[in-house]
Amino acid sequence: MNEIKPPLAQIELVVGDITQQADADIIVNAANAQLESGGGVAGAIHRAAGPDLAEACRPLAPIRPGKAVISPAFRLPNSYVIHCLGPVYGRDEPSDTLLANCYRNALLLADKQQVKSIAFPAISTGIFGFPKEKAAEIALRTIKSSIPSLQTIRTIRMVLFDQADLTIFEGKLAQIIE
Binding site for ligand AR6 (CB under 6 A): 17-19, 30, 32, 38-42, 44, 86, 121-128, 159, 161, 165
The DSSP string of 63-90 is --TT-EEEEE-TTSSSSEEEEE-PPPTT
Q: Residue 81 to residues 8, 40, 107, 111, 116: CA-CA distances in angstroms? A: 23, 16, 12, 13, 14
Beta-bridge partner residues of 72? 80
DSSP state of 2: P
Cβ-based nearer residue to ligand AR6, 57 or 149: 57
CA distance from start to end of the chain:
31
CB of 19 to ligand AR6, least distance (A): 6
Q: Are 39 and 72 in contact (CB under 8 A)?
A: no
Cβ-based nearer residue to ligand AR6, 109 or 158: 158
Cβ-based nearer residue to ligand AR6, 4 or 22: 22
User: Could you count the other beta carbons within 10 Å of the beta carbon of residue 97?
Assistant: 14
Phi, psi of 138 (to 5 degrees): -65, -45
For the chain, what's the residue count?
A: 178
Cβ-based nearer residue to ligand AR6, 109 or 169: 169
Cβ-based nearer residue to ligand AR6, 152 or 155: 155
CB of 156 to ligand AR6, least distance (A): 15
CB of 4 to ligand AR6, least distance (A): 37
CB of 85 to ligand AR6, least distance (A): 8
CB of 3 to ligand AR6, least distance (A): 39
